Amino acid sequence: MKCPFCQHDETQVIDSRESDEGTVIRRRRRCVECDKRFTTYERVELSFPAVVKKNGSRTEFEPAKLRGSLMLALRKRPVSTEQIDTAVSRIEEKLLASAEREVASERIGELVMRELKKIDKVAYIRFASVYRSFEDLDEFADAIQEVSKPKKR
């Protein structure tokens, strides 16, 4: 590991500790050249599947884009940042667990809709109206009926 201060190639590990419930290793290092100390963190790097768009092109999965879509649907809704983070994490976990090298953008859209349906029904309708390209009121009515709770008599 190069020293961030003098760029020397040789450093020594002084201390190593697990943190973050064992998912990260924190290492204290010392440069043998300038004797300065610094900390590094080691964590597993997972690779998400490539996203195959409707037109057939492929792009890298972007968690920020996923979060942006959820935030847009949830705009001005009473939903906490923690709930959004949890939804993003669940979607990411499903994509990683699939062990697929590629995933259709439609699949990601369906995962987003499933999460929104759990979090906020209005946000679900907002997202579904754009995602499914609603063209008339009947399609809105069908989506609303889908998320409406049966009324007790």
Is 31 in contact with 6 (CB distance < 8 Å)?
Answer: yes
Please give the share of the chain, as a percent, with pLDDT higher than 70: 90
pLDDT at 46: 76
Residue ranges in 27-150 assigned as alpha helix (H): 63-73, 81-97, 105-119, 121-131, 137-147
* CB-based contact 41:18 (threshold 8 Å): no
Q: Give the least confident one: 15-24, 25-34, 55-64, 85-94.
A: 15-24
Give the residue-averaged pLDDT of 35-40: 96
Look at 19-23, 77-81, 124-128 and tell me which has the smallest mean pLDDT.
Answer: 19-23
Please give the pLDDT value at position 145: 74
What pTM did the predictor assign? Answer: 0.60
In degrees, rounded to 5, the angle at the alpha carbon of residue 69 between the alpha carbons of residues 63 and 74 is 125
Between 103 and 153, residue with greater pLDDT: 103
Q: Could you tell me the two tokens for 147?
A: 């998320």
Residue 130: predicted pLDDT: 74
Q: pLDDT tens-digit profile of 108-139?
A: 988 998 999 899 888 888 887 776 666 666 67
Query: Which pLDDT belongs to residue 132?
Result: 67
Q: Which residue has the higher pLDDT, 149 or 56?
A: 56
| 24-31 β-sheet, strand order | 11-19, 24-31, 37-43
Residue 103 confidence (pLDDT) above 90? yes
Mean pLDDT of the chain: 87
